Chains A and B, each alone.
Chain A
Amino acid sequence: QKEVEQDPGPLSVPEGAIVSLNCTYSNSAFQYFMWYRQYSRKGPELLMYTYSSGNKEDGRFTAQVDKSSKYISLFIRDSQPSDSATYLCAMRRNQGGKLIFGQGTELSVKP
């Protein structure tokens, strides 16, 4: 079993839709959770960073962490074609620890 599971998609939505991206994990020791966006043939860029459980909002993006269920989510409101990319979840046990990535979900937002 992989430490971090993420549905690779592809996920296709119309412009303006609310997008929900999710990851599950098996190691309860993970405390730091990130979401990265990766455009084709580019390196990942950090979108959201959350410590422990709870919600965090930044513009159209909301990250949720439910440690009891070992489940994290990223919501994108009012999705735009420019949001079309691969979204990777990542997590680590502690500061300085190794980042464990999900497989990435490929998102396509159609105009």
Chain B
Amino acid sequence: GAVVSQHPSRVICKSGTSVKIECRSLDFQATTMFWYRQFPKKSLMLMATSNEGSKATYEQGVEKDKFLINHASLTLSTLTVTSAHPEDSSFYICSASLPGQGDNEQFFGPGTRLTVL
């Protein structure tokens, strides 16, 4: 149980285009989802916390107009990288907390590797 999926697993796009990444909790309803960014050999950096039906809470330094997050249902959150540039190339990972666990445990998706040319 507690499986989180992401789609796509890998995307290559041209500079200036927008890319949407989906995060789904497959066998549970997640009231809270998280979006992280990970650079090679670096730790995961929390970008934003997404709660179903409300606006996402962004971490300091993360541009909310560039990284649009929508948590439309209890099983789906999306991250849209708008007007992507090469510096946005990274590994994006989502996670979802299991309800009733006091948010003590986050289950991570497999990640999406974004390459902006």
Interface on A for B, CB 8 Å cutoff?
4, 6, 8, 32, 36, 41-46, 49, 88, 95-96, 98-99, 101-104, 106
Contact = CB atoms under 8 A, between A and B. Distances in A.
| Residue among A32, A43, A101 with the highest chain B CB neighbour number at 10 A | A43
Contact of A42 (B44, B49, B104, B110): B110
A43 B105 contact: no
Interface string B1-27: 000101000000000000000000000
Contact of A104 (B41, B45, B59, B111): B41
Contacts, number: 52
A103 B41 CA distance: 7
Contact of B42 (A41, A42, A44, A103): A103
Contacts of A41: 91, 111, 113
A98 to B, nearest CB: 6
B102 interface: yes
Contacts of A8: 41
B6 to A, nearest CB: 8
Nearest to A89: B43
Contact of A46 (B102, B107, B111): B107
A95 B44 contact: no
B106 A43 contact: no
B41 A43 contact: no
